[in-house]
Chains A and B, each alone.
Chain A
């Protein structure tokens, strides 16, 4: 049963999708799929309906349908976003048409599925995991948590809700020019670790992101902010990392002092 039959007034729409099968096609092309939609039909609903009822060969990634897994980021009418929580109606142009393409700047595997290897490689470059204080013994369960101040937690708010969808990465013009650039997603994660008082390697992180492929490569174009489906601000995080990278020794010294109080509370 198509989504159009579920709720609301039915209207006509044309879903224009970029198709590409590397085994058959020499280059990507656009295909139109007329569809009945309602006010509530999401872009993912439309893709599912096309796959189930019109063309079973259509390929795309999706998983949670709740804008939390980050699988379904695509390029809609030229702008990256998630398709699971965006309604078709909001994107229709004057001809009742919406165009769906894969994320730009990334190699296409098939149709709307892109190769995210570069995205994950850059993510791992910044060591996105927490490096705990020296007193932490991973072989012995701690009796209490490391207590972090509310204002320190608030500083992490900008970064901790990233769902790694890749919308910012593939909207970044610098990434388009240079795949060695760390990218806004990984720099945001690095910001999260640098600002976390429990992390004991901020200077190492700042040296890493302050290198040739890091924060000084950003041209402050703001594409990452513009497309982030979670409303995060990677550019602000990059600006903060730029400032800290220039005084990383002082920042490291302050962190050492802060961790002494953390460890005193931690039994």
Chain B
């Protein structure tokens, strides 16, 4: 039940984050160049948004993959191992992504 609820909550969050992402990254208003992208990525507000986006994607994707995998009767007995594997993978990916996001700076 917890996995189910987590996946639904992150799905709603993804609607918001993906909409923002599409507008800002793929269809930005005005002229788009490298320096403007760097300015946005260095902005602390955008860093928080990107970190939350990353968290939502990871939780949603891993919860979904976990739910699909344990549908198989043969995998069901190993669901605890699978759950801990997904959590470990999620934590590693989140730390790696967060470090990347935090390290963006405006080039002088």
Contact = CB atoms under 8 A, between A and B. Distances in A.
A210 B4 CA distance: 11
A44 interface: no
Contact of A178 (B4, B5, B73): B73
Nearest to A217: B71
A60 to B, nearest CB: 28
Interface residues of A, number: 13
B45 interface: no
A84 B21 CA distance: 55
Contacts of B3: 216
Interface string A163-195: 000000000001001111000000000000000
B72 A245 contact: no
A37 B19 CA distance: 58
Contacts of A212: 70, 76, 79
Interface string B66-79: 00001111001001
Interface size class for chain B? 10 to 19
B73 A180 contact: yes
B4 A242 contact: yes
Contacts of A180: 73, 76
A135 interface: no
Contact of B71 (A178, A210, A245, A246): A178
Interface string A188-221: 0000000000000000000000101000110100
A210 B73 contact: no
A204 to B, nearest CB: 16
B72 A178 contact: yes
A216 B71 contact: no
Interface in B1-54: 1, 3-5
B72 A216 contact: no
Contact of A246 (B5, B72, B79): B5
B1 A216 contact: yes
Nearest to B8: A242
Contacts of A178: 71-73, 76
Nearest to A214: B1
Nearest to A174: B71
20 contacts: A174-B71, A177-B71, A177-B72, A177-B73, A178-B71, A178-B73, A178-B76, A179-B73, A180-B73, A180-B76, A210-B1, A212-B70, A212-B79, A216-B1, A216-B3, A217-B71, A242-B4, A245-B1, A246-B1, A246-B5
Interface of A: 174, 177-180, 210, 212, 216-217, 219, 242, 245-246
Given A178-B73, A212-B79, 14 more contacts: A177-B71, A178-B71, A178-B72, A178-B76, A179-B73, A180-B73, A180-B76, A210-B1, A212-B70, A216-B1, A216-B3, A217-B71, A219-B71, A246-B1
